[in-house]
Amino acid sequence: MSDKTPAIELKNITKTFGKVVANKDVCLTVNYGEILSILGENGSGKTTLMNMISGIYYPDAGQILVGGKEVIIASPKDAFQYKIGMIHQHFKLVDVFSATENIILGLENQGRYDLKAAAQRVREISEQYGFDIDPNQKIYEMSVSQKQTVEIIKVLYRGADILILDEPTAVLTPQETEKLFKILRRMREDGKAIVIITHKLHEVLSLSDKVAVLRKGEYIGTVNTAETSENQLTEMMVGKKVSLNIQRSEPKDPRERLIVAHLKCENKEGIKELDDVCFTANSGEILGIAGIAGSGQRELLETIAGLHPANYGGIQYVDPATGKLENLRDKTPLEIRNLGVRLSFVPEDRLGMGLVGNMGITDNMMLRSYRAGKGAFLKKKEPESLADRIISQLEVVTPDKATPVRRLSGGNVQKVLVGREIAAAPTVLMAAYPVRGLDINSSYMIYNLLNEQKEKGVAVIFVGEDLDVLLELCDRIVVIGQGRITGIVDARTTTKEEIGLLMTKGGSK
Amino acid sequence: MREPLFHISKRTEIALVKAWLIRIAAIALALVLCAIVTFALTGLNPLRVFATLVDGAIGTARRRWSLLQGTAILLCISLAVTPAFKMRFWNTGAEGQVLAGAMATATCMLFLGNRLPSPVLFPIMFVCAVIAGSVWGVIPALFKAKWNTNETLFTLMMNYIAMQIINYFVYQWAVPKGSGQIGIINGDTKAGWLPAIFGQSYLCNILIVVVITIFIFIYLRFSKHGYEIAVVGESENTARYIGINVKRVIIRTMLLSGAICGICGLLIVSGTDHTVTRDSAGGQGFTAIMVSWLAKFDPIVMIFVSMLIIFLQKGAIEISTQFGLNKSFSEILTGIIIFFIIGCEFFINYQIHFNHSRKEAKA
Amino acid sequence: MITFLQRAVIMGIPLLFGSTGETITEKSGHLNLGIPGVMYMGGICAVIGAFFYENAVGPENIVPFLAILIPLACALLGSLLMGLVYSFFTVTLRANQNVTGLALTTFGVGFGNFFGGSLIKLADADVPSINLTATSSVFKTKLPYDALLNAMSAANAPSWLTAFVRGFCDLFLSYSFLAYAAIIIAFATAYILKRTRVGLHLRAVGENPGTADAAGINVGRYKYVSTCLGSMIAGLGGLYYIMDYAFGVWSNNGFGDRGWLAIALVIFTVWKPNVGIIGSFLFGGLLIIHNYIPGLGVADQELIKALPYVVTVIVLIFVSAREKKESLPPQSLGLSYFREER
């Protein structure tokens, strides 16, 4: 394809945040009339890279060339000047405005303010590329895919011919995804350069001309889609297995503890968050949940914990003493606790949900236990001694136990949270991304804590993103993709590639 | 592109001492400005301004009692709105809730005053005032819980509805008929008047507010309810996560908030004015909002803040009397002081970095 | 009937100024509870300006042009200062809006009453009370349609026609220029908010400052300008009240709760200044209707005066229950915007 001219070339781009290297020596080329996929796991540096092209970050080293000339992109405005438009994962739209109003927002010097003419222009763009949108519809009346369409038109309206889409299909149904791809292909024919960030293999294969793979900030390579296979891409994406030496014991006397059957959840817009999820968590075992971020892991745990409504299906708890079944579905967290179910939950959002950032460790200990005891007053003795215990046993670094936890480092915050949840002597322990953002030592301490719980006969559910960790820590792994379970595998015998393939499967069934 | 002269970032922490130094400096600056304003208006030597101010506030025993009494009432309302504020529920309706309590008290005094013995009368007055205040407070809370109706605007409107209802009754029950005021209720028998203790008619009020202060202090800091309020205020998500029924907490807290306002209405009618008008609360419902916020919702700090404001008001009134000026002089000074304290919070919460020496910071 | 409508309009005009100003401010995401204080400030500054002017030249010798210009400029300046204070605290210093607003009201009302009560003493003037009838009469100049009516009766026009013309003129042409200014400003504001780019940007700032910022809109500047402009318009309400409604006679607390009523009106009109025109006349009517209902006791009148607030509460509940997004308060109303917190 020698007739194509390069739209953007990146040469040896490097970007670090503090000690973390987000991108290292990345080289990329996108031509006009071409779709390039950037493939990588969570945290591989895809979004950082694109943010540098769209002017949100500035690279530490390296060059960016637009149309063959070296440029400096210091702000989104600069990016717009070079006709680069980015469609972010989180839409920036004003809810009560119509599509047109959002599209022209912030545009100056466009002559007279004329909504009708603007709406006409929006219609023209829509027709040109086959968008299906009513320019006068209000954003809050729109589905997610329509909002995304507005964002895309916004970029086109400003005359962009280099489009960057950050995980555009994460929020779409398969049908909507297909529609989007059709539009993107039409744009390609129109000579636009398109970069799409994704981690779904089948999308990469069906849509793009070239694939660039990133792994942990490093640029692995670019291949032509026509010349590659799922297996090759998976291997490039996940890399070779790294041994972590996490200890793992054989489950002792595993018994059914939590039975999830045909669980289905929909959000307000009717999009399926969970679809027919079935699995069983056993006592004395760590059940891993693997999947691309946003595949329904959060909804799954929150539904079990009584924080998210379910539309269909059952969640049953097996009482370890009596073997009696208790239904947990549609119960509030308090009702679940009042049933005598000791369910602990380490949520993904540590300071926004699991802890109160402005309170000290002692007060955070009380979150679970403050109702204990008779009378209207708080009993501070126990939480205080618990705080002391956690500080000394888990080596939490803090000036004192009254210091607001938001001032602690990420690792220490997580120790406080996990410590509290374990102190409740759970029979089921759910942990969502418990080692995200933690240093090595803290991470291992968390693994050890989870293992301890497992040995005590607790049913541990571990949602993770690092496949190496999942493979070494867990006994079984449930793989989830787009709200569906795509496989349940034995962690001792499976391979990274197998999980990687399963992860990218969901939805396309 | 021009580099901005400075940029602002949020502080993660600030030493307690430094924070208080900033606050004290702000108050000092405000006082200096007050003195300048006073000087400009009266020609009074700035030092004499302070002398007159102090004299007006605590010059005589009567003034000292009056200062304590004023502080007690303002503190009481500030305490009342505090639980709601801690929950991030903007109760701007304290004025109306106080008036509801005041009206209920006055009604009891008018119709039951000379018929029931005091030991029966006082509990009835108390219960009526509490119920009236909490009903007035809980109405917006119910709608907030049900439909998330904007509570700031709702409670604000409730104030004026309360005022007009009071006006209605004041005209209805005016003594003498047609005078447009109720006048001193039970002036001869003093039925339903809070008794003087040790000959001090205000002492009873003050003691009741002391009790309320201790109660709120303990309630917020040591009770399970107080803990729930703090969690809901900090993060509704966390509250849901640990199974707190957020709506119930909102309603319960506004019941309490309104109830204490109701008690304050009782203190004003039964313990101070012995009559009721639409101005019974005298705008203190609004001042209290500022007091509570300036004190960072801490009941102990609130004592000092409300005393500072009343001190200033009493002192300013003295200045204006001496110079034949209008009493509203005190409101100007109060406004200045509050502006300074509000302003200084910025310097406590944010940090200003000047950019001239760090060109490399911005790529 | 015509007198009632006429009075309702006159009562409504200060509210219209106030609510138009407050709407502009709220559209930028700032709930300015200081509006009552701002309106007081507008009123008293006009009084101060006019007072010194009248005293300097004597009430008989005032030049109409200056008699209007001086109080007008003073009112605008006073309320602009209040707006600047409010926006400095809430935009630059990111202080709590409710607390700042209430402090502004305390200050403004106190300022008004203080100078209203002490101006004579402070200025060492030799008059018994502040009485600016001369200035007021300039402000109250209305269209000379009496001449037309006189001409009509002189020309022996049919009496029904004369009566009709008189009624028409009384109802629509009998007000001073400020009243028409209020209506024009309200229409202009509605137009700007709805039909211009500036209005679109302003609404975006109030709904979602993060999005507006990302779209390259200078959020801080919009907030400042709208707050200050809103204050100045509200200040005109004070000016109208004192110079037109009150005949130039200042009485302490005479302005009463009109400032809060103006805030109520904003909610009542669901943030639409053009609806505010009718709304303000309606509120004005509710304020005086008791004079026109026969057999109403003084006490009952007071209950009727609560009606505007009750109606406002009902509207507030209604819009929140219906969840129609266009009628809800601007989404980020009351919240400070700090870019790095996005």
Is there a contact between C78 and C237 (Cβ–Cβ < 8 Å)?
no
Q: Which long-range contacts (CB under 8 A, 24 or more apart) does A227-236 make?
A: A230/A201, A230/A202, A230/A205, A230/A501, A230/A504, A231/A497, A231/A501, A233/A39, A233/A201, A233/A204, A233/A205, A234/A201, A234/A497, A234/A500, A234/A501, A234/A504, A235/A497, A236/A39
Superfamily for A6-238? P-loop containing nucleotide triphosphate hydrolases (3.40.50.300)
Confidence of residue C327 (pLDDT cuts 50, 70, 90): low
Q: Which two tokens stand for residue B238?
A: 């966390």
Residue with tokens 């001694």: A385
| Residue contact C33–B338, C-beta within 8 A | no
Q: Which two tokens stand for residue C20?
A: 């138009």
What's the mean per-residue pLDDT of chain C? 83
Convert the pLDDT of each residue in C76-85 to its tens digit.
999 999 999 9
What CATH code is assigned to B9-347? Answer: 1.10.3470
**Residues pairing with A312 in the sheet:** A264
| Residue contact A376–B223, C-beta within 8 A | yes
Contacts C257 to B, Cβ<8 Å = 160, 163
Checking if the pLDDT of B6 tops 70, the result is no
User: Burial level of A250, CB count in 10 A (0-12/13-18/19+)?
Assistant: exposed
Convert the pLDDT of each residue in B31-88 to its tens digit.
888 888 888 877 777 777 778 888 888 888 888 888 898 999 999 999 999 999 888 8
Give B178 or B363, the one with higher predicted confidence. B178
Contacts B222 to A, Cβ<8 Å = 377-378, 380
Nearest by CB: C325 against A77, A95, A115: A95
| 3 state SS of A484 | strand
| Residue contact A95–C210, C-beta within 8 A | no
pLDDT of residue A110: 66
Q: If we measure between CA atoms, which residue out of B105, B300, B299 comes closest to residue B193?
A: B105
Nearest by CB: A105 against C215, C325, C326: C215
Convert the pLDDT of each residue in B240-284 to its tens digit.
888 888 899 999 999 999 999 999 999 998 888 888 888 887 888
What CA–CA distance (Å, rounded) separates B155 from B135?
Answer: 12
What CA–CA distance (Å, rounded) separates A451 from A457?
Answer: 10
The structural domains of chain B, with segments of one domain joined by +, span 9-347
| 3 state SS of A25 | strand
Give partners of C (≥3 CB pairs < 8 A): A, B
pLDDT of residue A35: 92
State CA B140 to chain mean position distance: 19
DSSP letters for B221-279? HHBHHHHHHHHHHH-HHHHHHTT--HHHHHHHHHHHHHHHHHHHHHHHIIIIISS--TT
Whether the CB of B237 is below 8 Å from some CB of chain A: the reply is yes
Q: Which two tokens stand for residue B322?
A: 């001496």
What CATH code is assigned to A241-342+425-509? Answer: 3.40.50.300
Nearest by CB: A113 against C196, C208, C328: C196
Q: Are strands A285-290 and A459-463 parallel, antiparallel or unpaired?
A: parallel
Convert the pLDDT of each residue in B284-296 to its tens digit.
888 898 889 888 8
Mean pLDDT of C174-192: 87
Contacts C326 to A, Cβ<8 Å = 96, 138
What CA–CA distance (Å, rounded) separates B99 from B117?
Answer: 25
Is there a contact between C313 and C324 (Cβ–Cβ < 8 Å)?
no
Give C326 or C19, the one with higher predicted confidence. C19
Contacts B90 to C, Cβ<8 Å = 98, 334
pLDDT of residue B2: 43
Answer left, alpha or beta for residue B61, where phi above 0 means left and psi between -120 and 50 means alpha. Answer: alpha
Give B132 or C322, the one with higher predicted confidence. B132
Nearest CA in chain C to B171: C299
What CA–CA distance (Å, rounded) separates C257 from C36?
Answer: 7
pLDDT of residue B360: 41
User: Burial level of A65, CB count in 10 A (0-12/13-18/19+)?
Assistant: middle
Nearest by CB: A93 against C211, C217, C328: C211
Q: Nearest-CA distance from B228 to chain C in Å?
A: 23
Checking if the pLDDT of B111 tops 90, the result is no
Nearest by CB: A353 against B224, B241, B363: B241
pLDDT of residue A269: 67
What CA–CA distance (Å, rounded) separates B1 from B7?
Answer: 15
CATH 3.40.50.300 spans which residues of chain A?
6-238, 241-342+425-509
Mean pLDDT of C250-269: 81
Ranges under pLDDT 70 in chain A: 1-3, 18-19, 42-43, 109-111, 171, 173-174, 241-244, 269, 506-509
**Residues pairing with A29 in the sheet:** A9
ipTM: 0.83
Nearest CA in chain C to B91: C98
Whether the CB of C204 is below 8 Å from some CB of chain A: the reply is yes
Q: Nearest-CA distance from C319 to chain A in Å?
A: 14
Q: Give percent of chain C with pLDDT exceeding 70.
A: 95
What CA–CA distance (Å, rounded) separates A15 from A6?
Answer: 23
What CA–CA distance (Å, rounded) separates A136 from A115?
Answer: 9
pTM over 0.95: no
Contacts A359 to B, Cβ<8 Å = 230, 234
Contact residues, chain A to chain C, C-beta under 8 Å: 76-77, 92-97, 101, 104-108, 113, 115, 138, 140
| Residue contact C33–B346, C-beta within 8 A | no
| Residue contact A407–B363, C-beta within 8 A | no
Q: If we measure between CA atoms, which residue out of C29, C314, C25 comes closest to residue A96?
A: C29
Mean pLDDT of B300-322: 86
Convert the pLDDT of each residue in C45-66 to its tens digit.
988 888 888 878 877 777 788 8
Q: Which long-range contacts (CB under 8 A, 24 or more apart) does A75-81 make?
A: A75/B1, A76/C214, A76/C216, A77/C216, A79/A53, A79/A54, A79/A55, A80/A158, A80/A160
pLDDT of residue A17: 74
* Side chain identity at residue A217, one-letter code: G
pLDDT of residue B12: 62
Q: Which fold has domain C2-141+176-331?
A: ABC transporter involved in vitamin B12 uptake, BtuC (1.10.3470)
Q: Give percent of chain A with pLDDT exceeding 90.
A: 8
Q: Biggest alpha carbon distance in chain C?
A: 76
| Residue contact A105–C203, C-beta within 8 A | no
Q: Which helix (H) or strand (E) holds C73?
A: helix C64-87
The structural domains of chain C, with segments of one domain joined by +, span 2-141+176-331
Answer left, alpha or beta for residue C166, where phi above 0 means left and psi between -120 and 50 means alpha. Answer: alpha
Give the C-alpha distances (Å, rounded to integers) separating A11 from A6, B126, B251, B257.
13, 78, 60, 63
Query: What count of CB pairs under 8 Å joins B to C?
Result: 185
What CA–CA distance (Å, rounded) separates A509 from A497?
Answer: 19
| 3 state SS of B1 | coil
Whether the CB of C210 is below 8 Å from some CB of chain A: the reply is yes
Q: Give percent of chain C with pLDDT exceeding 90.
A: 15
| Residue contact C98–B325, C-beta within 8 A | no
What CA–CA distance (Å, rounded) separates A176 from A184?
Answer: 12
What CA–CA distance (Å, rounded) separates A305 from A286?
Answer: 18
| Residue contact B150–C329, C-beta within 8 A | yes
